Amino acid sequence: MNQPKILFADEPMGNLDAEIAAEIVGLIFELNATMGTTLMLVTHDRELTQRADRVIGLKGGTVAADTRVESGLSREAREPRP
């Protein structure tokens, strides 16, 4: 609505039915693609993480994995990056 530079979403599809959740996911990623909005999604949905450019996994409150996707290929980062 006001063209945010960053959109924070904590479990954005958690309480939605599958059809509405798919629409919301489409809108969120469309905002990213068309407006360049950075998305910060918190989710347990592995299917949703597959659409991300970067996935940071937490375990016990610390970074356990930092995966970036470049040119359609995933690679594990050796160190977490800010």
- The answer to whether position 67 is within a domain reads yes
* Predicted pLDDT at 73: 40
Q: Which residues pair with 42 in a beta bridge?
A: 10
CB-neighbour burial class of residue 13 (10 A; exposed 0-12, middle 13-18, buried 19+) = buried
| pLDDT score of 40 | 92
Does residue 1 belong to any structural domain of this protein? no
How confident is the model at residue 81, as a pLDDT? 42
Look at the pTM and tell me if it is higher than 0.75. Answer: no
Domain assignment present for 80? no
* Domain that residue 18 falls in: 6-75
Structural domains in the chain (count): 1
pLDDT below 50 — which residues of the chain?
71-82
Residue 70's pLDDT is what?
65
What confidence tens digit (pLDDT) does each residue in 27-46 have?
888 888 888 889 999 998 88
What's 10's domain CATH number?
Answer: 3.40.50.300
Q: Which two tokens stand for residue 38?
A: 């950075």
